[in-house]
Amino acid sequence: MKLYSTNLKADEVSFETALITGLAPDKGLYMPKDLPHFSEEELTSIKDEPYPEIA
């Protein structure tokens, strides 16, 4: 997963790098470049599952 800075002045980084560094060098917050898409069926199938199972 690639992440970008909300200030748009820093390079994209991996999830691991963002987790370790916290803030981007330009003082922006890291946000995912792409968010996963879930179908209605996928969401319906997990609605009654406990959170640890979903995570």
**Quick one: pLDDT at residue 54?**
87
**Quick one: pLDDT at residue 33?**
96
Between the two ends of the chain, the Cα-to-Cα distance in Å is 16
Could you tell me the residue range of the domain that residue 19 belongs to?
Answer: 2-54
Any idea what the CATH number is for the domain that residue 47 is in? 3.90.1380.10
* Structural domain count, the chain: 1
Give the global pTM.
0.68
What are residue 14's DSSP bridge partners?
Answer: 2
Residue-wise pLDDT for 1-55, tens only, equals: 999 999 999 999 999 999 999 999 999 999 999 998 999 999 999 999 999 998 8
Cβ–Cβ < 8 Å for 3, 32:
yes
> Pairing between strand 30-32 and 2-5?
antiparallel
- As a whole number of angstroms, the distance between CA 48 and CA 46 comes to 6
